[in-house]
Structure formats: C-alpha cells, structure tokens
Structure 1
Amino acid sequence: MSAGKKILIGITGSIAAYKTPLLVRQLVKAGAEVKVIMTPAAEDFVSRLTLATVSKNDVLVNLFDEATWANHVHLGRWADLFLLAPLSCNTLSKMAHGSCDNLLLATYLSATCPVVVAPAMDEDMWHHPTTKRNLAAVESDGCSIIPVKHGELASGLIGDGRMAEPEEIVSWLDAFFARQNSLSGKKALVTAGPTYEAIDPVRFIGNHSSGKMGIAIAEELVKRGASVTLVTGPISLQAKGLRRISVTSAAEMYAACTGVDYDIAVMAAAVADYTPVEVADKKIKKNSGELTLTLKRTQDILGSLGKQKRDGQLLVGFALETDNEREGALKKLREKNADLIVLNSLQDEGAGFGHDTNKATLYFRNGEEKNLPLKSKTALAKDIVDTITELVK
C-alpha cells in the first residue's frame, strides 16, 4: 500500500536511528518516494550520505545552509505522510510543547499531512509520567503512535521502549494507508456538542458538552475517505475537511439531521431532552417569588433516524449515564433501532464532559460488548471508527 506514496521521514537523536536506513530502503523498494530530514543530534548516530544514497534524495538538517533555505512548509505539504522514526524523548517533549528550534520541528508544526511517530527510548524514560503526558498530548493533536517493543535496549537493559523493527513499521504504514481509503465513497452524518434551549433572550437550558468527541470522530471519518456533514451545537472548536452546519437548539439540530442523506450516522451530540413550552420575548426580571418553567419533550433525533433507517445505513448513538449504565445503553440500542451504542459514564475519572480523554463501552445488536480503555478522545475516535468500518464491511 506504500507504492506511489510520498513519505517524509524525520530522524531524531536516538541510537535507534541505525535502523532507519533499512526502513528507508524497504519503503523505496515498495515503490514509495522518500525524503529525509534530520535533527542535528541525529547526525551523531547515522550519516547523511547513507540516507541520501538509500532514499535517492538530498537529506536536510538545517533550516538555513549558507544562502539556501529549506522550505519546511513545502515539505509538510509535499508528503502524504510524515513519519518520525526514531522519535526521541527530547523531540517528543518539544513537539508536545510547540517548540520550533530546528527544521524537523518547523516541518512538524506546518505539516498538513498525517503525522506518525515511532518512539525509541530507554525503559525508565518510556514509563516516566512526563513521557506519558507528552505522548497523550501529541496523540490528542492528531499524531498516530506506532507502539514500542519489549526487548534489549541501548543501556543493556531488557524492557519497553525499543523502536519497532523496520519491517513492522512498513506493515503498520501499509495498514494505515489501507484505512485511509476504507470509507471512500461513503457519506457520514455526525453531531457534536450541546444544544441550548432558550428561556428568554439571555438565558437557556444547556449542558457541559464540549463537542470534542464528536469532532474527533468526524475528522477520523474524513481521514478514512468519507464525505462528512458535521452538525454542531454552540461550540467554538474547529474541524477540517468537512461540511459543517451550526445550530443552537434541539429543534434546529433535528431539522438539520433529517435533511441529510447518509450511509453512516454518528449521533454524538448531547441533545436536550426537554425545552421550555414558552420562551419569553424579554428578559425575565428577578422578583421575590419563585419562577416555574414548564418543559416539553424535544424531538428525538436518534429515534427518528432509527425509524427511517434504510438497508445499508449504519446508525450509531451515544449514551451518557450516571446509573444503571448498561441497562440504559441496551434500552437505547433496542428502542432507537441503532446498530451500535457508545456508552460514556460520568462515574469514570477522566471521562465525559470537558476532558481531553474518554473511555467507552460499545454495545452491538448481536449482544456483543467491547470495552475501550481511557485514552485521548482522538485515539478513542480511531477505535470507534475502526469498529464502524468493520460494521460497514
């Protein structure tokens, strides 16, 4: 699957850089066009001459060489994929904090292509809490991580932190490119964020949904080749590569969703179940008495889509529960005619509204259940879309 792809490889200062010439050679042999950039520290471990020979391209290290400027913006736009292998602990930290003191980091910060990293470091560094935070940060920013291996390390210890072998990285990239086209030709509808139900011109009933989970799913569907319509409540987050419809109320979201044709629908928004019967046309003044609001049910978006669902359409719902979680998710799966329910629990630390992380349990129509552990919402979105892709197949 790497044949015909343009792959930019970034090499950082790690002893594992000795493997990278073989990785470059295997990718070129597979039909990929490969260019290489290095950090200055990487030159202590592998030579430019070796990499230029196997890649058949000049190797870049510095932003400026005498009168020549290395166009980092062009590099990040040229590539179909930017692979950092090996990724050292030091460069990982710089990526997580937005540092830009060399050509590789400048290219990373301006890259418009997918970014994949293959970390390499000693075991204690790999398991350090700071490293875990930095990995979570770059993953949340959209980077994909090739897992490290357990084995002999440069220190002589046996443990975690060894960079994946070149043939394993090539196989991982083949699977990555295959996933990119797995939903090509499919139309997807995704909802994200809260809805606000007006009480008067300045007040509303709402919830704490940030929209992060829904947007992560929408962007992952785009990466797989789907044509995505994203319907969002009142949130400020941006999303790339898709059609977006912004709404405020549950009624507006219902109208937007029922007007979209889709093959895959993912209802990740936290839609209000109730809305005021009457909305005051002027701000309600505070007085000495109590204020009573009469509420009515909003239109059921997931249920309506379930009733209208045609053969070949896939419907995914979200459930956020505080108690009787499994029962609530299974009831929603059954009553809404959904194919999959993603259950979030407010009982789980680090999950739910406002967090950059989440965990979920998936409930399928055949009775199967699947637990997804706590991870960044970007990473969780990949797992959910992996499941969607399998169901579509």
Structure 2
Amino acid sequence: MLTRRSFLQSSAAAAAFAASAGSARAETPGVTDAEIKIGQTMPYSGPASAYGVIGKTETAYFKMINDMGGISGRKINLISLDDGYSPPKTVEQVRRLVEQEQVAFLFNTLGTAPNLAIRQYLNDNKVPQLFVSTGASVFADPEHFPWTIGFNPNYQTEARIYGKHILATKPDAKVGVLYQNDGFGKDYLIGLKDALGSDHASMIVKEASYETSEPTVDSQVVSLQGSGADVVIFAATPKFAAQAIRKSYDLGWNAVRYLSNVSPSIATVLKPAGLEKSKGLITAYYGKDPTDARWKDDAGFKEWQAFCGKYLTPTDLTDANATYAFGAAGTMVQVLKQCGNDLTRENIMKQAANIKDLALPMLLPDMRINTSPTNYSPIRQMQLANFDGESWQLFGELLMG
C-alpha cells in the first residue's frame, strides 16, 4: 500500500519524467505544439529541373494533410529550396535549413551526388536524412550512416533485373551503356556486370559516360551505335534520357533500349523525346503508370486523381515524377503518425526504420513498403514494362534483382 509520502514521491517522479519528455520534444528543432518544420532541397533549376514537380507535389500533399488537421494537431511546414542539382549548392542550402531554419529533419532531398555531399554532415549532427530521392546503394548503409535512409529502388537491383532479362531474351547480345558519371550511373554498371557475371562480361561492348554539365549526349549515343551494340541501357536523368531516346531513333538504330526507372515520365521525358521515337522502350516499374487505362477504375488511382483535381494540375496527373512524390510524402506521413507525440529526432529515425507492410495508392498491387533497423531500402520489388507509344504496359511478374 502506498503511504502519503511514497505517493507524493512517485507522483513527483512521474511529473518530472513527463516534464523531461515534454522538454525533449520541445527541444527538437522545428517541432512545436502547432508545427513540424521539415527541410528539403530540389533541382527547381539546372539539368535535372524536370524533377521540380516532386517538391511541388510534396508541398501540395502536406497542404492536404494540414487541411485535414495535420498530424496530431501539428501542421507540416515543408521548406523546399532550390539547389540546381549542384552538390556545393546543396551543402549551402542544407546548412541553412539545419542551422538557420532549424528544421527537424531532411526529407526526400534529390540526387545521388547532392545527397552524398550532405550525408556526413547530417549524420555527424544526428539530423535524420529521410527517404532520399535516389536509389544509389550507398544510402542503405545503417551500420555506417544510421541517420540516412533511402527510398527509391536500388539502382544496382534494377540493373540486375535488366541483365537477367537480357540473358533470358537475347543471350548473344552486344550491350552498350550510357551512364551519368557519378554514383547514380556507376551503380547501373555494377548491377549489370553482377547479373551478367564473368562468363558473360564480354557482352558489354561499350560504356559511354556523360557529365551533367554537358549540353547533350548525342556524341555518346553515336559512339554507342558505332560499337555495334544491339542492346543499350540509358542510365540517365530526364533531360539526357530524352536526348538519348530521340538521338538513338533518329540514327535509325534498332537496338533494344532499356531506360532507367528515374526517367519513365511520359510528360517530362517521352513526350519531349517523341512518343513515336519512344516506342519499344523497356523499364522497370514499381508504381502505377497514371496514363495506363488499366488503372482508371482502381481505388488508388482515383485517390490520386482526386488529389490532383484539388491540389495540382491536369498535367501533373500524368507525370510519373508527381506520382512518385505522392508515395514518398505518404510514407513520410505514416512515419510521423507512428511517432505519436514523441517527435525527438531519435524517435523519428527509429520509426522511419520500422515501417511494416505499408500499402500506397499508386504502388503496384501487392507491393508494400518495409523497413527495419537493418533494411534501409523501402522498395525492393519491380516489374518490367514496355512503352507502346501511348503508355507503359507491364509484363512478367514482380522481380527482385
């Protein structure tokens, strides 16, 4: 039985604990009783500006959440800054977000090189770098960088899927690879070579890299055609992917063309390249193509359609980059819901690494988001798709590289 004295002591201890917990929450930068301030960099300008719609869509998504009352009464305030896809600019903007704006964490910052430029700084300062917008394998390394977690499917996994498909359908192929000369592009080479193995390494007859500062990749495509390659992989971001698609067609090159899943957008890649010139492209998908009529009665697509009708534009409805952002923002909201009232950086990171079977409206059926303290790759399955001149047509089964 509690005496009056012990009751008062236990009550005082409980009050002290509650005050301490409340203090911890209050001391989290960017978190108040009314707001959760988060930061982001996006290439609203520069060679990867086609991705700017991602930041625009995520801002709109959080506005929708705020219109519905926010997360446990707190509104989400996303500060999204332009870094022009330039790592030095990313560093400058992220330091501003962390040190001046006092954001709680970083969300969906875009690009392999930009994210590499800030990863050490964020980990040193124990600032969560959540769901980075790149599939580079280096962002799934919880042992060495526990404050950084990826989102996109691993580029090496995707390239292994292409390699396995090439071996199964064209085992005597001569393969050429166009790749961006950074961690993004080099991951495709690693994955492809891993899938082909030492017995088939000679299938790769030409590798051609490009810098994001180059105006075009036309000369690289010409060199790849000149190598005699009859299969080519375009590991390129939207601007350069569109150029490669157009140039390869204009050359009359009849190679089987695989396209990185960072550039399947019909609105920002295939239309600029030319829909007719894009026919026959193969990519690996994990989301529903918003231009594909098969989804018109799908509940998830209708949810996306309703969101666009209120918060975005008809153009955004068919942009794969926008649907990607819709999923990333939905994943972020799930994490914040799991946090409850404990919005310390430690708990935010813990919850980001403990997502269980999360279904998203625009993921392919049967696909789920899963993370754990040892799994920092939320999306691990993909399905091949072929472009028929109007939309991407899925074929085969869900695959893992």
The reply to whether TM is greater than 0.5 is: no
Larger Rg belongs to:
1
TM-score (norm 1): 0.28
TM-score (norm 2): 0.28
Higher RCO, 1 vs 2 (CA within 8 Å, ≥6 residues apart): 2
* Larger helix percent: 2
